[in-house]
Amino acid sequence: MKNKPLLIGILAITVAIVGSIFVSNNGIVLGQTFSTSIKGLPSAEKTQVIELKDGDTFDLRAGFVKKKIGNTEVRMLAYNGSIPGPTLKIAQGATVTVNFKNDTDVANTIHSHGVRMANAFDGVPDVTQKAIQPGDSFTYTLTFPDAGVYWYHPHMRDDYAIELGLYGNFLVTPENPTYWNAVDREVAVFLDDILIENGKIAPFYKDGSDRALMGRFGNVMLVNGETDYALSVKKSEVIRFYFTNSANVRPFNLAIKGTKLKLVGGDNGAYEREEWKDMVLITPSERAVIETRFDVSGEYEIQNKTPIAIQRLGRIIVSNESFVSANANIFQKLRDNIEAIKIIDPFRPFFTKETNKRIKLSLDMMGGGTGMMGNNTHGMPSSMGGGRMTGGVPEGGIEWDDSDNAGMNAMSNTDMVAWKIIDQDSGKKNMDIDWKFNVGEKVKIRITNEGTSAHPMQHPIHFHGQRFLVLNKNGVSQTNLVWKDTVNVPVGEYVDILVDVSSPGVWVAHCHILEHIEAGMVFPFMVE
Protein backbone atom coordinates (compact mmCIF):
# COMPACT_ATOMS: atom_id res chain seq x y z
CA MET A 1 0.00 0.00 0.00
CA LYS A 2 1.38 3.41 -0.92
CA ASN A 3 1.17 5.74 2.03
CA LYS A 4 1.02 9.15 0.36
CA PRO A 5 -2.36 8.63 -1.38
CA LEU A 6 -3.75 7.36 1.92
CA LEU A 7 -2.53 10.39 3.83
CA ILE A 8 -3.83 12.72 1.15
CA GLY A 9 -7.16 10.93 1.24
CA ILE A 10 -7.51 11.27 4.98
CA LEU A 11 -6.47 14.89 5.10
CA ALA A 12 -7.80 16.14 1.76
CA ILE A 13 -10.61 18.67 1.39
CA THR A 14 -12.71 19.60 -1.60
CA VAL A 15 -14.56 22.89 -1.33
CA ALA A 16 -17.50 24.15 -3.34
CA ILE A 17 -17.61 27.78 -2.29
CA VAL A 18 -15.23 30.70 -2.00
CA GLY A 19 -14.86 32.02 1.54
CA SER A 20 -13.64 35.28 2.90
CA ILE A 21 -10.10 36.26 3.81
CA PHE A 22 -9.41 36.38 7.54
CA VAL A 23 -6.71 38.75 8.79
CA SER A 24 -5.43 38.46 12.35
CA ASN A 25 -4.67 41.42 14.61
CA ASN A 26 -1.00 41.38 13.60
CA GLY A 27 -1.84 41.56 9.91
CA ILE A 28 -0.95 37.99 8.96
CA VAL A 29 -3.22 36.59 6.25
CA LEU A 30 -4.52 33.32 7.60
CA GLY A 31 -6.33 32.05 4.52
CA GLN A 32 -9.78 31.61 3.04
CA THR A 33 -12.49 30.62 5.46
CA PHE A 34 -15.73 28.76 4.99
CA SER A 35 -18.95 30.73 4.69
CA THR A 36 -20.75 31.77 7.87
CA SER A 37 -23.89 33.07 6.15
CA ILE A 38 -27.24 31.86 7.52
CA LYS A 39 -29.27 33.41 4.69
CA GLY A 40 -31.99 31.02 3.48
CA LEU A 41 -31.02 28.20 5.85
CA PRO A 42 -33.68 26.18 7.69
CA SER A 43 -33.61 26.08 11.48
CA ALA A 44 -32.20 22.98 13.14
CA GLU A 45 -34.85 20.44 14.07
CA LYS A 46 -35.28 18.20 17.11
CA THR A 47 -33.32 14.94 17.05
CA GLN A 48 -35.45 11.87 16.33
CA VAL A 49 -35.02 8.28 17.53
CA ILE A 50 -35.61 5.93 14.60
CA GLU A 51 -35.83 2.15 14.95
CA LEU A 52 -34.46 0.15 12.03
CA LYS A 53 -35.12 -3.54 11.48
CA ASP A 54 -32.90 -6.06 9.77
CA GLY A 55 -32.96 -5.31 6.04
CA ASP A 56 -34.25 -1.74 6.41
CA THR A 57 -32.98 1.18 4.31
CA PHE A 58 -32.46 4.67 5.73
CA ASP A 59 -31.72 7.94 3.91
CA LEU A 60 -29.17 10.18 5.62
CA ARG A 61 -28.33 13.66 4.33
CA ALA A 62 -25.64 16.07 5.49
CA GLY A 63 -26.50 19.72 4.93
CA PHE A 64 -26.58 23.20 6.44
CA VAL A 65 -28.89 24.61 9.11
CA LYS A 66 -29.01 27.70 11.27
CA LYS A 67 -28.99 27.22 15.01
CA LYS A 68 -29.12 29.51 18.01
CA ILE A 69 -26.00 29.41 20.17
CA GLY A 70 -26.27 31.84 23.06
CA ASN A 71 -27.81 35.04 21.71
CA THR A 72 -26.96 34.59 18.06
CA GLU A 73 -27.86 32.30 15.17
CA VAL A 74 -24.94 30.58 13.47
CA ARG A 75 -24.38 28.44 10.39
CA MET A 76 -23.91 24.77 11.28
CA LEU A 77 -23.97 21.33 9.69
CA ALA A 78 -26.57 18.68 10.44
CA TYR A 79 -27.65 15.17 9.53
CA ASN A 80 -31.28 15.19 8.38
CA GLY A 81 -31.67 18.70 9.75
CA SER A 82 -30.86 17.97 13.40
CA ILE A 83 -27.87 18.28 15.76
CA PRO A 84 -27.20 15.56 16.81
CA GLY A 85 -28.36 13.59 13.80
CA PRO A 86 -31.03 10.90 14.13
CA THR A 87 -30.42 8.28 16.81
CA LEU A 88 -30.63 4.98 14.92
CA LYS A 89 -31.80 2.11 17.12
CA ILE A 90 -30.84 -1.25 15.63
CA ALA A 91 -30.98 -4.85 16.90
CA GLN A 92 -27.71 -6.69 17.48
CA GLY A 93 -26.86 -8.75 14.39
CA ALA A 94 -29.06 -6.70 12.04
CA THR A 95 -27.89 -5.40 8.67
CA VAL A 96 -29.18 -2.07 7.37
CA THR A 97 -28.55 0.05 4.29
CA VAL A 98 -27.78 3.77 4.64
CA ASN A 99 -28.11 5.94 1.54
CA PHE A 100 -25.96 8.99 2.23
CA LYS A 101 -26.21 12.31 0.36
CA ASN A 102 -23.55 15.01 0.78
CA ASP A 103 -25.08 18.49 0.55
CA THR A 104 -22.25 20.23 2.42
CA ASP A 105 -19.35 22.33 1.09
CA VAL A 106 -16.63 19.72 1.65
CA ALA A 107 -15.93 16.21 0.44
CA ASN A 108 -17.39 13.75 2.91
CA THR A 109 -17.73 10.16 4.10
CA ILE A 110 -19.56 8.34 6.89
CA HIS A 111 -17.46 6.49 9.48
CA SER A 112 -19.48 4.19 11.74
CA HIS A 113 -17.30 4.61 14.79
CA GLY A 114 -16.65 1.43 16.78
CA VAL A 115 -18.77 -0.80 14.55
CA ARG A 116 -16.98 -3.93 13.31
CA MET A 117 -18.39 -3.57 9.81
CA ALA A 118 -17.15 -4.71 6.40
CA ASN A 119 -14.01 -2.79 5.45
CA ALA A 120 -15.57 -1.38 2.27
CA PHE A 121 -17.95 0.72 4.39
CA ASP A 122 -15.50 2.08 6.97
CA GLY A 123 -15.57 5.56 5.43
CA VAL A 124 -11.83 6.26 5.09
CA PRO A 125 -11.32 8.10 1.77
CA ASP A 126 -8.95 6.55 -0.78
CA VAL A 127 -8.68 3.45 1.41
CA THR A 128 -12.17 1.98 1.60
CA GLN A 129 -13.96 4.33 -0.80
CA LYS A 130 -13.59 7.47 -2.86
CA ALA A 131 -14.41 10.76 -1.21
CA ILE A 132 -18.05 11.77 -1.65
CA GLN A 133 -17.96 15.16 -3.33
CA PRO A 134 -20.54 17.87 -2.59
CA GLY A 135 -23.79 16.88 -4.30
CA ASP A 136 -22.84 13.19 -4.59
CA SER A 137 -24.10 10.10 -2.79
CA PHE A 138 -22.84 6.77 -1.46
CA THR A 139 -24.60 3.65 -0.14
CA TYR A 140 -23.34 1.95 3.04
CA THR A 141 -24.27 -1.58 4.08
CA LEU A 142 -23.71 -1.94 7.83
CA THR A 143 -23.96 -4.98 10.08
CA PHE A 144 -23.92 -4.56 13.87
CA PRO A 145 -22.38 -7.61 15.60
CA ASP A 146 -22.00 -6.07 19.07
CA ALA A 147 -24.48 -4.57 21.53
CA GLY A 148 -23.73 -1.08 22.81
CA VAL A 149 -23.60 2.57 21.80
CA TYR A 150 -21.72 3.69 18.68
CA TRP A 151 -21.70 6.83 16.60
CA TYR A 152 -21.40 8.03 13.03
CA HIS A 153 -19.45 11.03 11.75
CA PRO A 154 -17.39 12.18 8.74
CA HIS A 155 -13.79 11.13 8.14
CA MET A 156 -12.68 14.12 6.07
CA ARG A 157 -11.88 17.47 7.65
CA ASP A 158 -13.25 16.03 10.85
CA ASP A 159 -12.11 19.14 12.71
CA TYR A 160 -14.56 21.25 10.70
CA ALA A 161 -17.44 18.87 9.98
CA ILE A 162 -17.82 17.24 13.41
CA GLU A 163 -17.33 20.55 15.24
CA LEU A 164 -20.17 22.09 13.22
CA GLY A 165 -22.63 19.31 14.07
CA LEU A 166 -22.15 16.18 11.96
CA TYR A 167 -22.53 13.42 14.53
CA GLY A 168 -25.22 10.93 15.55
CA ASN A 169 -25.64 7.73 17.58
CA PHE A 170 -26.28 4.08 16.83
CA LEU A 171 -27.94 2.28 19.76
CA VAL A 172 -27.50 -1.46 19.22
CA THR A 173 -29.96 -3.39 21.36
CA PRO A 174 -28.64 -6.73 22.67
CA GLU A 175 -29.99 -10.12 21.62
CA ASN A 176 -30.01 -11.19 25.27
CA PRO A 177 -32.71 -9.17 27.09
CA THR A 178 -30.78 -9.43 30.39
CA TYR A 179 -27.55 -8.00 28.93
CA TRP A 180 -28.46 -4.58 30.37
CA ASN A 181 -30.52 -3.97 33.49
CA ALA A 182 -34.20 -3.23 33.12
CA VAL A 183 -34.76 0.56 33.20
CA ASP A 184 -37.69 2.90 32.74
CA ARG A 185 -36.12 5.03 30.02
CA GLU A 186 -33.06 5.25 27.77
CA VAL A 187 -31.52 8.60 26.78
CA ALA A 188 -28.68 9.16 24.30
CA VAL A 189 -26.55 12.22 25.09
CA PHE A 190 -23.70 13.89 23.19
CA LEU A 191 -21.20 16.00 25.15
CA ASP A 192 -19.55 18.70 23.06
CA ASP A 193 -18.22 22.24 23.00
CA ILE A 194 -17.88 24.96 20.37
CA LEU A 195 -15.61 27.98 20.00
CA ILE A 196 -17.51 31.27 19.69
CA GLU A 197 -15.67 34.53 18.93
CA ASN A 198 -17.47 37.87 18.61
CA GLY A 199 -20.84 36.16 18.41
CA LYS A 200 -19.79 33.79 15.62
CA ILE A 201 -18.21 30.37 15.37
CA ALA A 202 -14.45 30.88 15.17
CA PRO A 203 -13.45 30.60 11.48
CA PHE A 204 -12.27 27.41 9.82
CA TYR A 205 -9.69 27.62 7.05
CA LYS A 206 -10.13 25.86 3.74
CA ASP A 207 -6.44 25.08 3.35
CA GLY A 208 -6.16 23.13 6.59
CA SER A 209 -6.55 23.13 10.34
CA ASP A 210 -5.55 25.80 12.78
CA ARG A 211 -5.05 24.99 16.48
CA ALA A 212 -3.06 21.92 15.41
CA LEU A 213 -0.98 22.00 18.58
CA MET A 214 -3.62 21.45 21.25
CA GLY A 215 -6.84 21.10 19.28
CA ARG A 216 -9.86 23.39 19.15
CA PHE A 217 -11.15 23.77 22.70
CA GLY A 218 -14.58 25.37 22.74
CA ASN A 219 -15.70 28.09 25.13
CA VAL A 220 -19.41 27.18 25.00
CA MET A 221 -20.55 23.81 26.32
CA LEU A 222 -23.15 21.81 24.38
CA VAL A 223 -25.28 18.86 25.44
CA ASN A 224 -27.14 17.28 22.53
CA GLY A 225 -26.32 20.45 20.61
CA GLU A 226 -27.95 22.74 23.19
CA THR A 227 -26.46 25.36 25.49
CA ASP A 228 -29.40 25.04 27.90
CA TYR A 229 -30.04 21.28 27.83
CA ALA A 230 -32.75 20.20 30.26
CA LEU A 231 -34.21 16.72 30.74
CA SER A 232 -37.45 16.24 32.65
CA VAL A 233 -37.83 13.01 34.63
CA LYS A 234 -40.18 11.68 37.26
CA LYS A 235 -39.15 11.00 40.83
CA SER A 236 -37.82 7.42 41.25
CA GLU A 237 -37.63 6.89 37.48
CA VAL A 238 -34.61 4.75 36.50
CA ILE A 239 -32.75 6.22 33.51
CA ARG A 240 -29.98 4.69 31.42
CA PHE A 241 -27.84 7.33 29.72
CA TYR A 242 -25.63 6.63 26.72
CA PHE A 243 -23.00 9.39 26.80
CA THR A 244 -20.76 10.12 23.77
CA ASN A 245 -17.97 12.70 23.67
CA SER A 246 -18.01 14.32 20.21
CA ALA A 247 -15.75 17.27 21.11
CA ASN A 248 -12.67 17.97 18.99
CA VAL A 249 -10.33 17.76 21.97
CA ARG A 250 -12.05 18.44 25.31
CA PRO A 251 -12.21 15.60 27.84
CA PHE A 252 -15.31 15.59 30.05
CA ASN A 253 -15.10 14.46 33.68
CA LEU A 254 -18.82 13.89 33.95
CA ALA A 255 -20.77 14.29 37.18
CA ILE A 256 -24.42 14.84 38.07
CA LYS A 257 -24.42 16.92 41.24
CA GLY A 258 -26.34 15.32 44.09
CA THR A 259 -26.41 11.76 42.81
CA LYS A 260 -24.16 8.78 42.21
CA LEU A 261 -23.68 7.24 38.82
CA LYS A 262 -23.83 3.54 38.15
CA LEU A 263 -21.27 2.79 35.42
CA VAL A 264 -22.44 -0.25 33.49
CA GLY A 265 -20.87 0.04 30.01
CA GLY A 266 -18.26 1.66 27.81
CA ASP A 267 -17.35 1.95 24.13
CA ASN A 268 -18.36 -1.47 22.84
CA GLY A 269 -20.63 -3.00 25.45
CA ALA A 270 -20.94 -3.84 29.14
CA TYR A 271 -18.31 -3.86 31.87
CA GLU A 272 -17.68 -7.16 33.65
CA ARG A 273 -18.89 -5.59 36.90
CA GLU A 274 -21.04 -2.56 37.59
CA GLU A 275 -19.53 0.21 39.73
CA TRP A 276 -20.75 3.28 41.62
CA LYS A 277 -18.97 6.44 40.49
CA ASP A 278 -19.01 10.08 41.54
CA MET A 279 -17.47 11.09 38.18
CA VAL A 280 -16.70 9.36 34.88
CA LEU A 281 -13.93 10.55 32.54
CA ILE A 282 -14.96 10.49 28.86
CA THR A 283 -12.33 11.61 26.34
CA PRO A 284 -13.06 12.40 22.67
CA SER A 285 -14.93 9.59 20.86
CA GLU A 286 -15.32 7.47 24.01
CA ARG A 287 -18.70 6.41 25.32
CA ALA A 288 -20.01 5.67 28.82
CA VAL A 289 -23.23 3.85 29.69
CA ILE A 290 -24.52 5.12 33.02
CA GLU A 291 -27.67 4.42 35.02
CA THR A 292 -29.21 6.84 37.51
CA ARG A 293 -32.26 7.28 39.69
CA PHE A 294 -33.48 10.47 41.36
CA ASP A 295 -35.34 9.90 44.62
CA VAL A 296 -35.82 13.57 45.49
CA SER A 297 -37.58 16.11 43.32
CA GLY A 298 -35.70 19.21 42.24
CA GLU A 299 -33.00 20.26 39.80
CA TYR A 300 -29.75 18.34 39.31
CA GLU A 301 -26.82 19.93 37.49
CA ILE A 302 -24.88 17.98 34.85
CA GLN A 303 -21.25 19.02 35.32
CA ASN A 304 -17.80 18.76 33.82
CA LYS A 305 -15.74 18.53 37.00
CA THR A 306 -12.03 19.11 36.35
CA PRO A 307 -9.07 20.16 38.52
CA ILE A 308 -9.27 23.69 37.10
CA ALA A 309 -13.03 24.34 36.95
CA ILE A 310 -16.53 23.01 37.41
CA GLN A 311 -18.51 23.72 34.24
CA ARG A 312 -22.28 23.53 34.05
CA LEU A 313 -23.34 21.43 31.08
CA GLY A 314 -27.09 21.08 31.57
CA ARG A 315 -29.71 20.08 34.09
CA ILE A 316 -32.09 17.30 35.00
CA ILE A 317 -35.45 18.43 36.37
CA VAL A 318 -37.10 15.88 38.65
CA SER A 319 -40.83 16.38 39.14
CA ASN A 320 -42.98 15.53 42.15
CA GLU A 321 -45.15 13.37 39.92
CA SER A 322 -45.79 10.00 41.50
CA PHE A 323 -43.96 7.17 39.73
CA VAL A 324 -43.61 3.61 40.91
CA SER A 325 -40.66 1.99 39.15
CA ALA A 326 -40.62 -1.78 38.81
CA ASN A 327 -36.86 -1.45 38.39
CA ALA A 328 -36.06 0.33 41.67
CA ASN A 329 -34.71 -2.76 43.43
CA ILE A 330 -32.59 -3.68 40.42
CA PHE A 331 -31.01 -0.23 40.40
CA GLN A 332 -29.93 -0.47 44.05
CA LYS A 333 -27.74 -3.50 43.40
CA LEU A 334 -24.43 -3.86 41.61
CA ARG A 335 -24.17 -7.00 39.54
CA ASP A 336 -21.60 -8.98 37.63
CA ASN A 337 -22.50 -9.04 33.93
CA ILE A 338 -22.27 -12.76 33.21
CA GLU A 339 -22.61 -12.40 29.45
CA ALA A 340 -19.89 -9.76 29.25
CA ILE A 341 -17.58 -12.00 31.31
CA LYS A 342 -18.27 -14.99 29.07
CA ILE A 343 -17.42 -12.98 25.94
CA ILE A 344 -14.09 -11.93 27.47
CA ASP A 345 -13.18 -15.34 28.98
CA PRO A 346 -11.61 -16.86 25.79
CA PHE A 347 -9.13 -13.95 25.66
CA ARG A 348 -7.76 -14.33 29.21
CA PRO A 349 -4.96 -16.80 28.25
CA PHE A 350 -3.49 -14.02 26.08
CA PHE A 351 -3.35 -11.37 28.83
CA THR A 352 0.18 -12.33 29.88
CA LYS A 353 1.63 -12.91 26.41
CA GLU A 354 4.65 -10.96 25.20
CA THR A 355 4.02 -7.55 23.66
CA ASN A 356 3.71 -7.79 19.85
CA LYS A 357 3.94 -4.10 18.97
CA ARG A 358 5.10 -0.91 20.66
CA ILE A 359 4.19 2.60 19.60
CA LYS A 360 5.16 5.99 21.01
CA LEU A 361 3.20 9.23 20.75
CA SER A 362 5.30 12.33 20.16
CA LEU A 363 5.53 15.74 18.49
CA ASP A 364 7.73 17.69 16.07
CA MET A 365 7.61 21.48 16.05
CA MET A 366 8.62 23.06 12.77
CA GLY A 367 9.73 26.65 13.50
CA GLY A 368 10.55 28.87 10.54
CA GLY A 369 8.12 27.10 8.22
CA THR A 370 5.46 28.60 6.00
CA GLY A 371 2.83 30.80 7.50
CA MET A 372 -0.72 30.05 8.49
CA MET A 373 -2.18 27.84 5.79
CA GLY A 374 0.97 28.35 3.71
CA ASN A 375 0.34 31.97 2.74
CA ASN A 376 3.13 33.91 4.50
CA THR A 377 6.45 33.07 6.09
CA HIS A 378 5.74 32.90 9.77
CA GLY A 379 7.57 30.56 12.15
CA MET A 380 6.38 29.47 15.56
CA PRO A 381 7.54 31.60 18.50
CA SER A 382 10.88 30.45 19.87
CA SER A 383 9.21 29.62 23.17
CA MET A 384 7.42 26.76 21.42
CA GLY A 385 10.55 24.99 20.28
CA GLY A 386 12.16 24.07 23.58
CA GLY A 387 10.45 22.74 26.66
CA ARG A 388 6.71 22.54 27.13
CA MET A 389 5.13 25.99 27.03
CA THR A 390 3.23 25.46 30.29
CA GLY A 391 6.33 24.19 32.05
CA GLY A 392 5.91 20.48 32.58
CA VAL A 393 3.42 17.64 32.41
CA PRO A 394 -0.19 18.77 32.97
CA GLU A 395 -1.92 17.63 36.16
CA GLY A 396 -2.90 13.99 35.85
CA GLY A 397 -1.39 13.90 32.37
CA ILE A 398 -4.47 15.58 30.89
CA GLU A 399 -4.81 19.00 29.22
CA TRP A 400 -8.23 20.18 30.38
CA ASP A 401 -8.25 23.49 28.48
CA ASP A 402 -6.02 25.75 26.39
CA SER A 403 -6.62 28.86 28.48
CA ASP A 404 -2.92 29.24 29.34
CA ASN A 405 -1.81 28.86 25.72
CA ALA A 406 -4.83 29.91 23.65
CA GLY A 407 -2.90 32.44 21.55
CA MET A 408 -0.08 30.09 20.67
CA ASN A 409 -2.55 27.28 20.02
CA ALA A 410 -4.60 29.45 17.65
CA MET A 411 -1.46 30.33 15.69
CA SER A 412 -0.39 26.71 15.19
CA ASN A 413 -1.26 24.87 11.99
CA THR A 414 -0.37 21.67 10.20
CA ASP A 415 2.65 23.33 8.51
CA MET A 416 4.16 23.98 11.93
CA VAL A 417 3.03 21.00 13.99
CA ALA A 418 3.60 17.32 13.21
CA TRP A 419 2.08 14.93 15.71
CA LYS A 420 3.63 11.48 15.47
CA ILE A 421 2.82 7.85 16.14
CA ILE A 422 6.16 6.00 16.07
CA ASP A 423 6.63 2.24 15.74
CA GLN A 424 9.34 1.75 18.37
CA ASP A 425 10.63 -1.47 16.81
CA SER A 426 11.07 -0.25 13.22
CA GLY A 427 11.39 3.49 13.81
CA LYS A 428 8.72 4.13 11.17
CA LYS A 429 6.13 6.78 11.89
CA ASN A 430 2.56 7.65 10.91
CA MET A 431 1.78 6.62 7.32
CA ASP A 432 5.07 4.75 6.91
CA ILE A 433 4.06 2.15 9.51
CA ASP A 434 3.23 -1.14 7.76
CA TRP A 435 1.74 -3.53 10.31
CA LYS A 436 0.13 -6.74 9.03
CA PHE A 437 -2.02 -9.17 10.99
CA ASN A 438 -4.23 -12.18 10.29
CA VAL A 439 -7.88 -12.61 11.27
CA GLY A 440 -8.03 -14.42 14.59
CA GLU A 441 -4.79 -13.02 16.01
CA LYS A 442 -4.72 -11.61 19.53
CA VAL A 443 -2.26 -8.71 19.29
CA LYS A 444 -0.80 -7.08 22.39
CA ILE A 445 0.20 -3.43 21.84
CA ARG A 446 1.92 -1.06 24.25
CA ILE A 447 1.13 2.62 23.63
CA THR A 448 3.48 5.08 25.35
CA ASN A 449 2.83 8.82 25.49
CA GLU A 450 6.16 10.64 25.50
CA GLY A 451 6.30 13.28 28.23
CA THR A 452 9.33 15.24 27.04
CA SER A 453 8.21 16.82 23.76
CA ALA A 454 7.63 20.56 23.24
CA HIS A 455 4.00 20.21 24.29
CA PRO A 456 2.99 16.75 25.52
CA MET A 457 -0.71 16.13 26.05
CA GLN A 458 -3.12 13.22 26.28
CA HIS A 459 -4.11 11.27 23.17
CA PRO A 460 -7.32 9.20 22.78
CA ILE A 461 -6.15 6.49 20.35
CA HIS A 462 -8.87 4.92 18.18
CA PHE A 463 -8.56 1.68 16.17
CA HIS A 464 -10.89 1.17 13.23
CA GLY A 465 -12.67 -2.11 12.58
CA GLN A 466 -11.50 -4.01 15.66
CA ARG A 467 -12.23 -4.10 19.38
CA PHE A 468 -9.72 -4.34 22.21
CA LEU A 469 -9.34 -4.76 25.96
CA VAL A 470 -7.25 -2.38 28.08
CA LEU A 471 -5.12 -4.74 30.19
CA ASN A 472 -2.77 -2.36 31.95
CA LYS A 473 -2.51 1.36 32.64
CA ASN A 474 0.97 2.55 33.58
CA GLY A 475 1.78 -0.72 35.33
CA VAL A 476 -1.61 -1.16 37.02
CA SER A 477 -3.57 -4.21 35.84
CA GLN A 478 -7.19 -3.48 34.94
CA THR A 479 -9.52 -5.83 36.81
CA ASN A 480 -12.88 -4.68 35.42
CA LEU A 481 -12.76 -4.98 31.64
CA VAL A 482 -14.93 -3.68 28.84
CA TRP A 483 -14.50 -3.87 25.07
CA LYS A 484 -13.11 -0.61 23.69
CA ASP A 485 -12.28 1.05 20.39
CA THR A 486 -10.65 4.16 21.90
CA VAL A 487 -8.21 4.42 24.80
CA ASN A 488 -6.94 7.62 26.41
CA VAL A 489 -3.18 7.71 27.04
CA PRO A 490 -2.19 10.45 29.53
CA VAL A 491 1.13 12.29 29.27
CA GLY A 492 4.14 10.27 30.45
CA GLU A 493 2.14 7.07 30.81
CA TYR A 494 1.56 3.89 28.85
CA VAL A 495 -1.27 1.44 28.28
CA ASP A 496 -1.25 -2.18 27.15
CA ILE A 497 -4.16 -3.28 24.98
CA LEU A 498 -5.13 -6.67 23.56
CA VAL A 499 -6.66 -6.32 20.10
CA ASP A 500 -9.16 -8.90 18.87
CA VAL A 501 -8.18 -8.96 15.19
CA SER A 502 -11.46 -9.97 13.60
CA SER A 503 -12.19 -7.78 10.59
CA PRO A 504 -10.15 -8.13 7.36
CA GLY A 505 -9.07 -5.19 5.23
CA VAL A 506 -6.87 -2.10 5.35
CA TRP A 507 -7.72 -0.05 8.42
CA VAL A 508 -6.32 2.96 10.25
CA ALA A 509 -5.61 3.88 13.86
CA HIS A 510 -5.28 7.49 14.97
CA CYS A 511 -5.55 10.05 17.72
CA HIS A 512 -9.15 11.25 18.02
CA ILE A 513 -8.19 14.83 18.82
CA LEU A 514 -9.44 16.00 15.45
CA GLU A 515 -6.73 18.57 14.77
CA HIS A 516 -4.11 15.92 15.55
CA ILE A 517 -5.52 13.70 12.78
CA GLU A 518 -5.12 16.61 10.40
CA ALA A 519 -1.53 17.05 11.69
CA GLY A 520 -0.66 13.50 10.62
CA MET A 521 -1.28 11.42 13.74
CA VAL A 522 -2.62 8.35 11.93
CA PHE A 523 -1.23 5.04 10.67
CA PRO A 524 -2.53 2.12 8.58
CA PHE A 525 -2.59 -1.58 9.40
CA MET A 526 -3.62 -4.52 7.26
CA VAL A 527 -5.66 -7.55 8.35
CA GLU A 528 -5.54 -10.54 6.02
Of 382, 354, 347, the C-alpha closest to 468 is: 347
CA-closest candidate to residue 108, choices 136, 132, 125: 132
Q: Compute the C-alpha angle 490/358/422, nearest 5°.
A: 75
Domain boundaries, the chain: 3-183
CB within 8 Å of 176: residues ≥ 6 apart: 339
3-state secondary structure 250-276: CCEEEEECCCCEEEEEECCEEEEEEEE
Distance, in Å, from the CA atom of 499 to the CA atom of 488, rounded to the nearest integer, reads 15
**Strands of 406-501, DSSP E:** 417-423, 435-437, 442-449, 459-463, 467-473, 476-477, 486-489, 494-500
Q: Which residue has the higher pLDDT, 304 or 375?
A: 304
Q: Is the dihedral of CA 430, 153, 54, 289 positive or negative?
A: positive
Name the 3-class secondary structure at 226. strand
Q: What pLDDT, on a 0 to 100 scale, did the predictor assign at position 392?
A: 63
Interval 474-519: pLDDT, tens: 999 999 999 999 999 999 999 999 999 999 999 999 999 999 999 9
Mean pLDDT across the chain, nearest whole number?
89
Query: Comparing 9 with 41, which gets the higher pLDDT?
Result: 41
pTM greater than 0.85 (yes/no): yes
Burial of 345 (0-12, 13-18, 19+ CB in 10 A): exposed
Asked whether 492 and 451 are in contact (CB, 8 A), the reply is yes
Task: Please give the CATH topology (third level) of the domain spanning 3-183.
Answer: Immunoglobulin-like (2.60.40)
Cα–Cα distance, 316 to 282 (Å, whole number) = 19
Distances (CA, A) of 324 to 234, 237, 262, 370, 502: 9, 8, 20, 65, 44
Distances (CA, A) of 364 to 333, 378, 391, 421: 50, 17, 17, 11
Backbone angles phi, psi at 13, to 5 degrees: -145, 135
pLDDT at 7 over 90: no
* Measured distance CA(107)–CA(102) in Å, rounded: 8
Question: pLDDT tens, 278-296?
Answer: 999 999 999 999 999 998 9
For residues 411-432, average pLDDT = 94
Please state, for a pLDDT cut of 90, what percent of the chain lies above it.
79
Phi-psi region of 225 (alpha: psi -120 to 50; beta: other; left: phi over 0): left
